[in-house]
Amino acid sequence: MSDYLNQNPEQLARDNIDAKLRASGWEIQSKNEINFAASLGVAIREYAVVTEEGETKFPDYVLFVDQEPVGIIEAKKEDEGHRITLVEEQSEMYAKAKLKHLDHDTLPFVYESTGVITRFTNYRDPNPRAREVFSFHRPETFKDWLKKPKSLRARLQDIPGLDHTGLRPAQIVAIENLEKSFKANKPKALIQMATGAGKTFTASTFVYRLLKHADAKRILFLVDTKNLGEQAEQEFMKFQPTDDNRKFTELYNIQRLNSSYIADDSQVCISTIQRLYSILKGEELDENAELENPNESSWLESQAKKKEALPVVYNEKVPLEQFDFIIIDECHRSIYNLWKQVLDLSLIHI
Stronger pLDDT, 134 or 164, i.e. the higher one:
164
Say what percent of the chain tops pLDDT 70: 85
Mark whether 127 and 164 lie in a shared domain.
Answer: no
User: Exposure of 123 by Cβ count < 10 A (0-12 exposed, 13-18 middle, 19+ buried)?
Assistant: middle
Residue 101 has what pLDDT?
83
Residue 130 inside a domain? The answer is yes
Mark whether 320 and 250 lie in a shared domain.
Answer: yes
Q: What separation in angstroms does the CA of 56 have from each of 8, 51, 53, 230, 263?
A: 25, 6, 9, 58, 46
Residue 142 inside a domain? The answer is yes
Of 147, 178, 201, the residue at which a domain comes to its end is 147
Segment 257-264 mean pLDDT? 91
Residue 150 has what pLDDT?
96
Residue 342 has what pLDDT?
43
| 243 within 8 A of 257, measured Cβ to Cβ | no
Mark whether 114 and 167 lie in a shared domain.
Answer: no
Stronger pLDDT, 349 or 105, i.e. the higher one:
105
Residue 152 inside a domain? The answer is no
Of 147, 171, 187, the residue at which a domain comes to its end is 147
Segment 254-273 mean pLDDT? 93
Mark whether 286 and 205 lie in a shared domain.
Answer: yes
**pLDDT tens by residue, 4-40:** 444 777 888 899 999 999 999 999 999 999 999 999 9
Residue 296 inside a domain? The answer is yes
Q: For residue 339, is pLDDT > 50?
A: no
Whole domain around residue 135: which residue ranges? Answer: 2-147
Segment 115-130 mean pLDDT? 92
Pairing mode of beta strands 118-122, 131-133: antiparallel
Q: For residue 332, is pLDDT > 70?
A: no
Distance in angstroms (rounded) separating the CA atoms of residues 268 and 326: 10
Mark whether 317 and 219 lie in a shared domain.
Answer: yes
Residue 279 has what pLDDT?
87
Mark whether 215 and 344 lie in a shared domain.
Answer: yes
**pLDDT tens by residue, 55-99:** 999 999 999 999 999 999 999 887 766 677 778 888 999 999 999
Q: Following CA atoms 141, 142, 147, 151 in sequence, which dihedral angle do they give, to the nearest 10 degrees?
A: 100
| 121 within 8 A of 110, measured Cβ to Cβ | yes
Q: For the domain that residue 260 is a member of, what is the CATH number?
A: 3.40.50.300
**pLDDT tens by residue, 168-190:** 999 999 999 999 999 998 888 88
Q: For residue 209, is pLDDT > 70?
A: yes
Q: For the domain that residue 18 is a member of, what is the CATH number?
A: 3.90.1570.30
Mark whether 202 and 314 lie in a shared domain.
Answer: yes
Mark whether 298 and 226 lie in a shared domain.
Answer: yes
**pLDDT tens by residue, 188-208:** 888 988 888 899 999 999 999
Q: What separation in angstroms does the CA of 201 have from each of 21, 65, 194, 204?
A: 40, 40, 13, 5
Q: For residue 155, is pLDDT > 90?
A: yes
Mark whether 173 and 285 lie in a shared domain.
Answer: yes
Pairing mode of beta strands 219-223, 26-30: unpaired
Residue 301 has what pLDDT?
55
Cα(first)–Cα(last) distance of the chain, in Å? 49
Residue 331 inside a domain? The answer is yes
Stronger pLDDT, 314 or 113, i.e. the higher one:
113
Query: Whats the size of the chain, residue-wise?
Result: 350
Segment 282-292 mean pLDDT? 82
Of 99, 122, 147, the residue at which a domain comes to its end is 147
Residue 153 inside a domain? The answer is no
Total domains, the chain = 2
Stronger pLDDT, 145 or 335, i.e. the higher one:
145
Q: For residue 347, is pLDDT > 80?
A: no
Q: For residue 112, is pLDDT > 80?
A: yes
Mark whether 177 and 72 lie in a shared domain.
Answer: no
Residue 326 inside a domain? The answer is yes
Mark whether 217 and 77 lie in a shared domain.
Answer: no
Segment 263-278 mean pLDDT? 91
**pLDDT tens by residue, 288-324:** 888 877 665 555 555 555 455 556 667 888 887 889 9
Q: What angle do CA 269, 331, 258 make, to 5 degrees?
A: 30
Residue 100 inside a domain? The answer is yes
Number of neighbours of residue 294 by Cβ within 10 angstroms: 24
pTM, full prediction: 0.86
Residue 309 has what pLDDT?
54
Mark whether 193 and 283 lie in a shared domain.
Answer: yes
Residue 295 has what pLDDT?
61
Segment 107-117 mean pLDDT? 94
Residue 287 has what pLDDT?
77
